[in-house]
A and B are shown apart, each in its own frame.
Chain A
Amino acid sequence: QVQLQESGPGLVKPSQTLSLTCTVSDGSISSTSYYWSWIRQPGGKGLEWIGRVYTTGSTDYNPALKSRVTIAVDTSKNQFSLRLSTVTAADTAVYYCARASSSGWYGNAFDIWGQGTMVTVSS
């Protein structure tokens, strides 16, 4: 069973860049069958899709965050990453990485999620 694990700093200062990594275990990020996404959840609130990356490096982003977001894949490490620049307190959230099919399996739903990592933006 594929597992996803987020990692990165839990505290980021305002105006700086948030950087997170998602490590894929027991599966290959190089599979052409999946997209790899980042999703976040501010405290006590709902879920917001940030964007996704394909094994080729192709990306799609939420237009609301597009100017500040970079998602990249590192197939040599079986990881993908998130960078969110110029952060503010509004970016404080639990950040999840998740997998979804690119081939229509599971209706392109997110079938596997990481456990999530809390990131607080504060000076």
Chain B
Amino acid sequence: DIVMTQSPLSLPVTPGEPASISCRSSQSLLHSNGNNYLSWYLQKPGQSPQLLIYLGSTRASGVPDRFSGGGSGTDFTLKISRVEAEDVGIYYCMQALQTLRTFGQGTKLEIK
């Protein structure tokens, strides 16, 4: 199994300030086709997860451009350029390289 490890697990942020979440995988997520099979999700309070980023850095439809994803291989980062109140929730990374999909533990973003 590919183990996904996120940090930090808790992230208090002042509105308007940037935020960054790290995700590391126990194996490289870089496919021979050049794509990194890493996605990011946001689970807002009381809701199901929603797709933010796929293939490591591509924003899903409707996702604000303050969200950006980067990294390759085993190290990935989700960045929010200026946090807004609506960004609170738990952020998960997930690998889709192997059939057995695995998620990170989640990072809870809260507003200071």
Contact = CB atoms under 8 A, between A and B. Distances in A.
B103 A46 contact: yes
Contact of A49 (B50, B51, B102, B104): B102
A78 to B, nearest CB: 20
Interface in B10-61: 35-39, 41, 47-51, 54-56, 58, 60
A110 B51 contact: yes
B94 interface: yes
A63 B100 contact: yes
A100 B37 CA distance: 13
Q: Contact size class for A?
A: 20 to 34
A74 B101 CA distance: 23
Given A49-B102, A100-B96, A106 B37 contact: no
A102 to B, nearest CB: 11
A107 B58 contact: yes
Chain B interface size band reads: 20 to 34
B72 interface: no
Given A46-B92, A109-B96, A114 B48 contact: yes
B7 interface: no
A114 B101 CA distance: 18
Nearest to A4: B48
Interface string A55-73: 0000010110000000000
A110 B42 CA distance: 12
Given A47-B49, A113-B48, 12 more contacts: A37-B101, A46-B103, A46-B106, A47-B94, A48-B103, A49-B101, A106-B54, A107-B38, A108-B37, A109-B96, A110-B94, A114-B48
Interface of A: 37, 39, 46-49, 60, 62-63, 96, 100, 104, 106-111, 113-116
26 contacts: A39-B101, A46-B92, A47-B92, A47-B94, A47-B106, A48-B103, A49-B102, A60-B100, A96-B48, A104-B35, A106-B51, A106-B54, A106-B55, A107-B35, A107-B36, A107-B54, A107-B55, A107-B58, A108-B37, A109-B51, A109-B60, A110-B94, A113-B48, A113-B50, A114-B48, A115-B48
